[in-house]
Amino acid sequence: MPELPEVETVRRGLADALTGARIGQVRTNRRGLRYPFPARFASRLKGRRIDSIGRRAKYLLFFLDSGEVLLAHLGMSGSFRVVRGGSEAMAGRFRFPRSKAQTHDHVVIAAEGAKGGLFVIYNDPRRFGFMDLVAAGELERHPRIAGLGIEPLSDAFDGTALARLFAGRSTPLKSALLDQRLVAGIGNIYACEALWQARLAPQRNAGGLATASGKATTAAHRLAREIRDVLARAIAAGGSTLHDFRQADGEPGNFQSDFSVYGREGDPCPRCGGAIRRVAQSGRSTFHCPTCQR
DNA sequence: CCGATTACCTGCACGC
DNA sequence: TGCGTGCAGGTAATCG
């Protein structure tokens, strides 16, 4: 479900509730998600204070006072929600929910925050997400973090950087945008939307964003600008809610109503009125307007 | 190097 | 109501 804007939305919600909170009981309801939980997972979390919560690409980073970082990825269907739990949170008397709607609550963390006790519940039907614990000093060397590309909302990201990253690649723009080793955090929705906003065909060659001398083309500047724009607007809207994405406070995001092409096969292009088409690229659906994306 | 395919797993929409 | 099919926001391995 979650691309960079959704993960950032979750991060902000969790940071509000959990910054400075002390972790109490931790309950895992299975051995792992996509991968097994790390050794002594619950005991390494219990009693720790959450100093801050960060994000790298689509990864959430919970910095603990033990010097370790809880690394979490939501996969396709993961979500965190915060539930006020009163004093029973720290007392460890919380009962694991067992109604059908909550059968995929895989991790339940009790914590004592500034506003009292609460539960942080990680739910993930498809279990493509994962969690790991790593020493803060080792974070950049973690196998899932080490290979990540540039943050598209960082100051360093612009048309020049994008052209340099794509230079020499003979892969379609859409595929290049989904490659987390180049630009990190863009997924299928925002790749489609950014290409539409930049009026660039998803099939276009990524290497073509740089001239023979390596200079950024106007298309490169346009694409970088529109990537930043669409991600920022989506974050401002609280992310997109397609199936069941929720912000940490349980509210849905609102950006999906702003999609110009994603999921709109057959609809008129908001810019030129031509029909939005769906094509397959590297096994994923690409939505685009063949008329005004060139 | 690159693209397509498959896999991981569950839920849901859809057609019949 | 039930069943089969295809598709889904991500990542990774494998095969030509």
pLDDT per residue as tens digits for the range A43-57: 999 999 999 999 999
* A103 strand B contact, CB < 7 Å: yes
Return the axis-axis angle of helices A159-166 and A218-236, rounded to nearest 10°. 110
Q: CB within 7 A of strand C: which residues qualify?
A: A 1-3, 6, 34, 57-58, 73, 75-77, 126, 128, 143-144, 178, 180, 187-189, 239-245, 253, 283-285
- Mean pLDDT score, A108-116: 94
Range 217-256, chain A: CB under 7 Å to any strand B atom: 243
Residue A85 contacts residue A119 (beta carbons within 8 Å)? yes
> Which of A76-85, A96-105, A177-186 is most confident?
A177-186
Protein residue closest to B3, using CA and C1': A282
Residue A75, nucleotide of least CA–C1' distance: C10
- 0.75 exceeded by the pTM? yes
**The token pair that represents A239 in the structure block:** 């992310």
What does the pLDDT look like over A198-229, one tens digit per residue? 999 999 999 999 999 989 999 999 999 999 99
Residue closest to A72 by CA, chosen among A117, A128, A141, A113: A128
* A294 is near strand B: CB distance < 7 Å: no
Q: A50-59, A89-98, A133-142, A165-174 — which is least confidently predicted?
A: A89-98
Packing angle of the helix pair A218-236, A188-197 (nearest 10 deg): 130
Q: For strand B, list residues 113-172 of chain A whose Cβ lies within 7 Å of it.
A: 125-128, 168-172
Q: How many CB atoms lie within 10 A of CB A138?
A: 12
Least Cα distance to A228 among A4, A1, A58 occurs for A4
Give nucleotides in strand B with any atom < 7 A to a protein C-beta. 1-12
Residue A34 confidence (pLDDT) above 90: yes
Does residue A93 have a pLDDT over 50? no
Of the listed ranges A24-28, A204-208, A241-245, A270-274, the one predicted with least confidence = A241-245
> A45 CA, C8 C1': separation in Å?
33
Nearest protein residue to nucleotide B2 (CA to C1' distance) is: A171
Round and report the angstrom distance from CA (A87) to C1' (C7): 44
Whether A92 has a pLDDT exceeding 50, the answer reads no
Residue A268 is predicted with a pLDDT of 96
Per-residue pLDDT band for A86 (boundaries 50, 70, 90) equals: low
What integer is the mean pLDDT of A68-73? 98
Using CB atoms within 10 Å of the CB of residue A104, give its burial: 0 to 12 exposed, 13 to 18 middle, 19+ buried: middle
**A58 CA: nearest nucleotide by C1':** C10
- DSSP for chain A, written as a single string: ---HHHHHHHHHHHHHHHTT-EEEEEEESSSBSSSBPPTTHHHHHTT-BEEEEEEETTEEEEEETTSEEEEEE-TTT-EEEEEE-TTHHHHT-PPPP-SGGGTTEEEEEEEEETTEEEEEEEE-TT---EEEEEEGGGGGGSHHHHT--B-TTSTT-SHHHHHHHHTT--SBHHHHHH-TTTBSS--HHHHHHHHHHTT--TTSBGGGGB-TTSPBPHHHHHHHHHHHHHHHHHHHTT---SSS---TTSPPP-GGGG-SSTT-TTSBPTTT-PBPEEEEETTEEEEE-TTT--
**Protein CA A226 to sugar C1' B6 (Å):** 33
pLDDT for position A90: 47
A283 touches strand B (CB under 7 A): yes
**Average pLDDT rounded to a whole number, residues A277-288:** 93
Q: Which residues of A are marked as active site? A: 2-3, 58, 284
| Protein-proximal nucleotides of chain C (any atom < 7 Å from a CB) | 7-12
Residue A173 confidence (pLDDT): 97
